[in-house]
Amino acid sequence: MKKRPYRIHHKQPPQKTRDFESIEETLMKLQKPGPKGSDYRERSLKIHGLLCAKCGREFDEKTRHLLTVHHKDGNHLNNPPDGSNWENLCVYCHDDEHSRELLGNYLRDQKE
């Protein structure tokens, strides 16, 4: 009786069919400490919620990247832990807010 050589069959791990990140991976990335001071965004989103302060649009975990933190006094170094200098604005409103500021300053400068 012939003995078959014993072979170890390496079972391939099941292929991942999803090409998007798992929630765990996304969370890990979000929790990674960024450059100094950049964590205020997460804090602001936590304090004020996933909501644009201007247009009232609501965001969820999938669209939260469209929410940005606006500094009410324009000073990015002023980050009080109670969030009083932060405003959550969607990218569109944030853009609008700043172009208006620039325009406002421009018009004011023209007058003076």
Q: Which is nearer to Zn ion, 45 or 90 (CB)?
A: 90
CB of 41 to Zn ion, least distance (A): 12
Q: Please, which residues have CB within 8 angstroms of residue 42's CB and are 6 or more apart in sequence?
A: 30
CB of 65 to Zn ion, least distance (A): 14
CB of 73 to Zn ion, least distance (A): 10
**Tokens encoding 75:** 């000073």
Q: Which is nearer to Zn ion, 45 or 52 (CB)?
A: 52
Q: Which is nearer to Zn ion, 45 or 93 (CB)?
A: 93
Q: What secondary structure does DSSP assign to 37-65, as a single string?
A: TTTHHHHHHHHH-SB-TTT--B--TTTGG
Q: Which is nearer to Zn ion, 30 or 55 (CB)?
A: 55
CB of 31 to Zn ion, least distance (A): 24
> Which of 68, 82, 15, 72 lies closest to 38 in space, CA to CA?
68
Chain residues binding Zn ion by CB under 5 A are 52, 54-55, 70, 90, 93
DSSP state of 66: G
